[in-house]
Amino acid sequence: MANKKHPITRKKMHPTSITRSESTLKIGRKSRQLYSQNSIKQHTDTCADREFESEFLKQQNESNSMLLCSLPLGNSMNNLLFTAPEAALPNTGSPVYELLLILSDGNKHARDHLCNLLGGGFRGYLQKLTGECYQYWFIHSEQSEYNGKRQALYWLDESHFSCDLQQDKDARTIAKKQYKDRSYYGSKSAVKRLQQAEQDKVDADTEYQQRIGSNTEKIKNL
């Protein structure tokens, strides 16, 4: 018996399935449109942000230039404040601030002159300015004549007055190295002095024991 071939028939899709398929396509097209629009918007926003940032930096540079031009010529406290880190500035009215204010004219100031203005403790204020406490102000010193007496003169490095952040940082880097060098060699010398002091104590104890300690024992035995 011959096999009957059944004709190939297409399966009819339910109207609901057709509707869903068309809806899915519409949603897909809409999603792609929204994605494309969002991409364009995001790109536009990014460009706008860049333009805003560029304009902001331009205005900031112009503002800094105007401020720099408004600073008085020569050395002054305003020049120091322009580039000094906030932590490098002592409290207003403190003796350390008064010392910085005196040095802010950029001139050389003699030890006796500073003593008259700030008292004998000015050396401690000087150490604070040049040390870690106020982020290493670069203060020069030299021996010279003042009122017929040879003594130290002190003045601030020109880089602090430059109104240039990099020059100010360079000056503080140099001052920091000098400060740490002094600290290192001072500690090294202290270790040597300690070793010598320990040996001197041993010698003194030995001599004491030989001369005084032995006599004490003799007296007790009498």
* The 3-state secondary structure of 75-127, one letter per residue: CCHHHHHHHCCHHHCCCCCCHHHHHHHHHCCCCCEEHHHHHHHHCCCHHHHHH
Q: How sure is the predictor about 20, in pLDDT bands with cuts at 50, 70 and 90? A: very low
Residue 194 lies in a domain: no
Q: Is residue 181 domain-resident?
A: yes
pLDDT of amino acid 59: 58
Q: What is the pTM of this model?
A: 0.58
Whether residue 144 contacts residue 107, with contact meaning beta carbons closer than 8 Å, is answered with no
- Average pLDDT value for residue range 17-27: 42
Q: How confident is the model at residue 40 (pLDDT cuts 50, 70, 90)?
A: very low
In total, how many domains does the chain have? 1
**Residue 45: inside a domain:** no
Q: What does the alpha-carbon distance between residue 147 and residue 11 come to, in Å, rounded to a whole number?
A: 117
Residue 90 clears pLDDT 50, i.e. is over it? yes
> Taking residues 103-129, what's their average pLDDT?
94
In-domain check, residue 134: yes
In a domain, 5, yes or no: no
The predicted-structure confidence for 206-218, as pLDDT tens digits, reads as follows 888 888 876 666 5
Q: Are 134 and 160 in contact (CB under 8 A)?
A: no
Average pLDDT, rounded, for the chain:
77
Can you give the CATH number for the domain in which 82 is found? 1.10.10
